[in-house]
Structure 1
Amino acid sequence: MTTVLAPVEGAAVGLAAVPDPVFSAGMVGPGSAIDPLRGPGEAVAPIAGKIMKLHPHAYVIVGDDGRGVLVHLGIDTVQLKGEGFRLLATEGDRVRAGQAVVAWDPSAVEAGGRSPVCPVVALDALSEAVTGVAQGRVHAGDELFIWE
């Protein structure tokens, strides 16, 4: 069992609320999403493990059990080419759950006409493996869902 933490503060809204069909239909995997608090902040590691992929707008952390969790900071944010994001860790780093990975500003993403909603996905998981999904207000580091 893996406890996946909220990477950002905001409102847990579920993947169905993500304005991108790939995420909202669960094609990437099951999980949840957070509509982040507007204003500068930091996105943290949802689990302890190794940063396997790190882009300014998204990262994947794989735990010692081999489970990977994707955090995507906003929708279509790859188009920003890193502008407005600052890496606080390096690909290959080992991180603890709750450790800051990327600094960003959801209000700047929104001002550019993009959704700042953050999908948090259990990669290669079966949909029924994700339980206890949080709803409503969450703080970075709060429990977001359980990966059975």
Structure 2
Amino acid sequence: MTFSIAKPLSYSAPASGEAVMRLNAPATGEVLRLDELPHPLLQTGLLGTGAAINMTTGEVSAPIAAVVQSINIAKAQLVLVHAKGLKLQLQIGQPGEISYGERLKWLVKKGQRCEAGTSLLQSDPLWIKQQDALPVCVLTLLNAGRLGAIVLTSDPKIRINDEDFLALYA
């Protein structure tokens, strides 16, 4: 069994260079860094680098054009793969908070091609809160090894499909 710990990425833009990719907001709500969430695996970056949105509505859309690689209903997770090879995971709730996809309506299937903005799923943020869980959409980059920095939008409030939610730098 092989374990690898990703190098820590910077959260500020490098002095020179353009972003190699920009991701749209997958949900509406308040933008959070992963280290601001209470789950230790997210705080330490062991599940990947990325960001979260404390959702105020339940719609979740594709942040980039990609193919649905997998859907894990039991863990409320979906993995997308961009044509350039970037893999990203969208998860509703923190790990272990939503069991067996309760109150999630999946709108895509494995292998489906999606454009940026394609509706992926619908959730119920109010129900998630009633379960004493955080109604977050967690976006993690699963293969960020060649990236040097990720930059979150400067606006803490974001709407679904807003551009420049997350900029990736090499």
TM-score, length-scaled by structure 1: 0.89
- Aligned residue in 2 for 1:52: 69
Contact 1:30 1:127 in 2 (8 A): no
- What is the Cα deviation at residue 128 of structure 1? 5.8
- What is the Cα deviation at residue 96 of structure 1? 0.5
1:30 aligns with 2:49: yes
Name the structure where helix makes up a greater proportion of residues.
1
- 1:29-108 matches, within 5 Å, as 29-37=48-56, 39=57, 41-56=58-73, 57-76=76-95, 79-108=98-127
Determine helix, strand or coil for the equivalent of 2:152: coil
Distance of 1:14 and 1:64 partners within structure 2: 26
Name the structure where strand makes up a greater proportion of residues.
1
Residue ranges of structure 1 left out of the alignment (5+ in a row)? none
- After superposing on structure 2, the runs of 4+ consecutive aligned residues of structure 1 that deviate more than 2 Å are 76-80, 126-132
- Aligned residue in 2 for 1:124: 143
Contact 1:29 1:127 in 2 (8 A): no
The alignment-based identity, stated in percent, is: 25
In structure 2, relative to structure 1, the CA distance for the partners of 1:72 and 1:104 (3 Å cut) is same
CA RMSD of aligned residues (A): 1.8
Aligned pairs, how many?
146
- Aligned residue in 2 for 1:6: 25
Q: Which is worse superposed, 128-137 or 114-123?
A: 128-137
TM-score, length-scaled by structure 2: 0.78
- Aligned residue in 1 for 2:168: 147
